[in-house]
């Protein structure tokens, strides 16, 4: 019986979050986004009186103040996330992903929102591109938001995960669009990525929202896949043309760095704990990860086979 708002609520994750929430006992679900057409389409698809729509941009602090009125929980998923677009339009990425996060934090505190989860990415761990750097800033801002909240009840945490199967802009529809050519471009034969389904991502986000104390960065344990295996799963037997790693890309992604491991515990998922959690006296239970540990897609102990990828797709 709570009111939950999702920024970027018409995106792939937002759409799936709404789908799950409508099966719950949520009192009201607010979709906050810039795209009126997608909002209209969602309203036609779900047709539920608990669903509300706000046209707005996280860059607009006044609009956030209005939208957050009476909201209990927020999932902040709004972002510019296409790596090439962020590289070509860096000021726009900063305005949405960093200034937008600051606006969300300040409006949430002023409106008395109870819990806010920010959605991050593996590209925020030792970022190589601007998108990853802006998400790394979001993580820092959200952790610090607990200090800005002070004695107030508003708490902020972050969820960080890897590539999402079937999300908009993923490599899957790109590979499928080339099926008629008989040839698939591969950036590097050794490239690996973390992989999570939309349903798994939603379940993890809700789990973290439920158990968060504030200031944590939650990292799920998810499998890795090889790009060449993904290409084979989508277009079996096709020629794979090596075209080289693109600007801003890594060969392998990190979900947890060696430096972060010093303040990370394992209790089913990895939890990077805040360095200065003066706003809480709670001590979270969990096993401390080993010194020098890192969670890398290239050295992961869980891998998806071609057959498993084909089933997921």
DSSP letter (8 states) at residue 245 = P
Q: How many CB atoms lie within 10 A of CB 180?
A: 7
Lowest pLDDT segment from 31-35, 201-205, 282-286: 282-286
Residues 240, 243, 247: CA angle, nearest 5 degrees: 140
Share of the chain above pLDDT 70, in %: 98
Residue 279: band (very low, low, confident or very high) from pLDDT cuts 50, 70, 90: low
Tell me the pLDDT of the chain averaged across its residues: 93
Question: What pLDDT score was predicted for residue 156?
Answer: 97
pLDDT reading at 211 higher than 90: yes
The pTM of this model reads 0.94
H-type alpha helices, the chain? 12-21, 36-46, 61-67, 83-88, 90-94, 100-111, 130-149, 171-177, 198-211, 227-234, 258-261, 306-312
239-258, pLDDT tens digit by residue?
A: 999 999 888 889 999 999 99
Question: What pLDDT score was predicted for residue 106?
Answer: 98
Question: What pLDDT score was predicted for residue 220?
Answer: 98
Buried/exposed code over 150-176 (b: 16+ C-beta within 10 A; e: otherwise): eeeebbbbbbbbbbbbebeeeebeebe
Q: How many CB atoms lie within 10 A of CB 146?
A: 26
Cα 90 to Cα 101: distance, rounded to the nearest angstrom: 16
Instruction: Please state the rounded mean pLDDT for residues 83-92.
Output: 94
Lowest pLDDT segment from 19-23, 52-56, 243-247: 243-247
Which of the four CATH numbers 3.30.420.40, 3.40.50.720, 3.30.70.1140, 3.40.35.10 does domain 3-312 have? 3.40.50.720
Q: How many CB atoms lie within 10 A of CB 245?
A: 12
- Identify the active-site residue in 123, 135, 140, 287: 123
DSSP letter (8 states) at residue 303 = B
Cα 122 to Cα 35: distance, rounded to the nearest angstrom: 26
Cα 38 to Cα 46: distance, rounded to the nearest angstrom: 12
123 is catalytic: yes
Question: What pLDDT score was predicted for residue 169?
Answer: 67
Instruction: Please state the rounded mean pLDDT for residues 47-56.
Output: 95
Domain positions in the chain are 3-312
109-145, pLDDT tens digit by residue?
A: 999 999 999 999 999 999 999 999 999 999 999 999 9
Cα 292 to Cα 247: distance, rounded to the nearest angstrom: 28
């Amino acid at each position: 019986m709570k009111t939950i708002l999702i920024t970027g609520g018409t995106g792939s994750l937002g759409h799936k979050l709404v789908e799950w929430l409508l099966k719950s006992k949520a009192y009201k679900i607010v979709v906050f986004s810039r795209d009126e057409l997608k909002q209209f389409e969602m309203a036609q698809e779900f047709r539920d009186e608990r669903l509300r729509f706000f046209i707005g941009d996280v860059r607009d602090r006044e609009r956030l103040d209005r939208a957050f009125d009476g909201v209990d929980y927020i999932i902040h998923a709004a972002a510019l996330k296409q790596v090439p677009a962020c590289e070509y339009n860096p000021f726009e990425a900063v305005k949405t992903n960093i200034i937008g996060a600051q606006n969300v934090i300040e409006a949430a505190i002023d409106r008395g929102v109870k819990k806010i989860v920010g959605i991050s990415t593996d590209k925020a761990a030792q970022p190589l591109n601007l998108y990853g750097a802006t998400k790394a800033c979001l993580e820092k801002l959200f952790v610090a938001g607990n200090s800005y909240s002070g004695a107030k009840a508003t708490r902020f945490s972050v969820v960080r995960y890897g590539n999402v199967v079937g999300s908009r802009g993923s490599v899957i529809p790109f590979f499928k669009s080339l099926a008629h050519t008989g040839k698939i471009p591969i950036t590097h034969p050794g490239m690996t990525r973390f992989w999570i389904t939309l349903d798994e991502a939603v379940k993890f986000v809700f789990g973290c929202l439920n158990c968060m104390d504030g200031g944590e960065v939650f990292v799920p344990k998810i499998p890795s896949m090889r790009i060449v295996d993904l290409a084979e799963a989508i277009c079996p037997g096709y020629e794979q043309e090596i075209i080289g790693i693109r600007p801003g890309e890594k060969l392998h992604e990190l979900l947890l760095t060696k430096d972060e491991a010093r303040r990370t515990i394992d209790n089913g998922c990895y939890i990077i704990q805040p360095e200065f959690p003066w706003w809480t006296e709670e001590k979270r239970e969990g096993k401390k990860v080993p010194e020098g540990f890192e969670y890398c897609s290239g050295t992961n102990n869980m891998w998806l086979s071609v057959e498993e990828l084909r089933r997921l797709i």
